[in-house]
Amino acid sequence: MRPPFTGQQRSHKRAQWRYFVNNNPIDVERLAPGLHIVATPIGNLADVTIRALAALAGADLIACEDTRITRKLLDRYGIEAPLTPYHDHNAEKARPALLRRLGDGGAIALVSDAGTPLISDPGYKLVRAALDAGHTVTALPGPSSVLAALTVSGLPTDQFLFAGFLPPKQAARRSRIAELARVPCTIVLFESGQRIAATLADLAAGLGHREAAICRELTKLHEEVRRGDLDTLAQNCAEAEIRGEFVLVIAPPQAAEMPSAEDTETLLRQALSRVSLKDAVVEVAAATGLPRRALYQRALALAKEAGHGAQG
């Protein structure tokens, strides 16, 4: 019995490729002209869809972040389509060439290193440019680390916000966390191993007591999901060196976590009696998770009512 996806053979014509599913051969014709957004595995190469394999095999060109990573997937399934790099560092120069290829009737498959393209990668601009030029853009859905983490987190899935990576510098990161504090739904974030401990500490300080899940190396050999409150997860990560790629899923705020307008005003008045307007805003933002911009406007009004100048 021939195992699935083995025994591939390519004809002399670029338009055909043969692979086997359950010992049944399938011939793939050339992909239709246009840009095809192809989701690829986030770790386990067996997670690729049959439609994705057919698209990659039938494409005139595959645009990818790292040709070495995509080549491993193609080699696994005997696909010999040409590759070209398209990533953050070369997108501005590479995009015009890809658009010219589309203009000549080419069939281009766009993939990321892992998962669904356009999620925290430069694919959006290529898609927009292709649409503006009148080219067909087709989505081939498949693996997504965002959805994989969300489904195993055990947290509410009816509404969620994907917020990508938080800023690497602490001041900007804390400011962004303060903005996210009021979002009334589950939050999904990406983070690297070198910053996971610092990020969790800031999330615990800025969001308070919330349930969360840390998903590491999803679908890979060392896959791990840790669940608990942010404080506990932050302490665990601070005590050990953790490597890998992470998706963080954070529960939405409870109604009790959201201070009323009256409570917020009281906190601002108390802070203004002790520190400058700027410091009062920072203090109350850290305590409540409310956006600094809105707090600043209210603090400014309170300071004027009390006869104080708007001192920084």
pLDDT value of position 293: 78
Separation of first and last alpha carbons in the chain: 76
pLDDT tens per residue across span 275-310: 888 888 888 887 776 777 778 888 998 888 876 544
Distance between CA atoms of residues 155 and 248, nearest Å: 11
Considering the domain delimited by 17-143, tell me its CATH architecture: 3-Layer(aba) Sandwich (3.40)
d(CA 193, CA 200): 11
Q: Are 213 and 187 in contact (CB under 8 A)?
A: no
User: DSSP H helical segments within the chain, as ranges?
Assistant: 50-58, 67-76, 91-103, 123-132, 145-153, 170-180, 196-207, 230-238, 261-272, 277-288, 292-305
- Where exactly are the structural domains of the chain? 17-143, 146-254, 259-305
* pLDDT tens per residue, range 180-196: 998 989 999 999 999 99
For the domain spanning 146-254, the CATH number is: 3.30.950.10
| Threshold 0.85, pTM exceeds | no
pLDDT digit string, tens, across residues 52-98:
999 999 999 999 999 999 999 998 888 888 999 999 999 999 999 99
- Any idea what the Cα angle at residue 147 is, between residues 44 and 47, rounded to 5°? 20
44-58, pLDDT tens digit by residue? 999 999 999 999 999
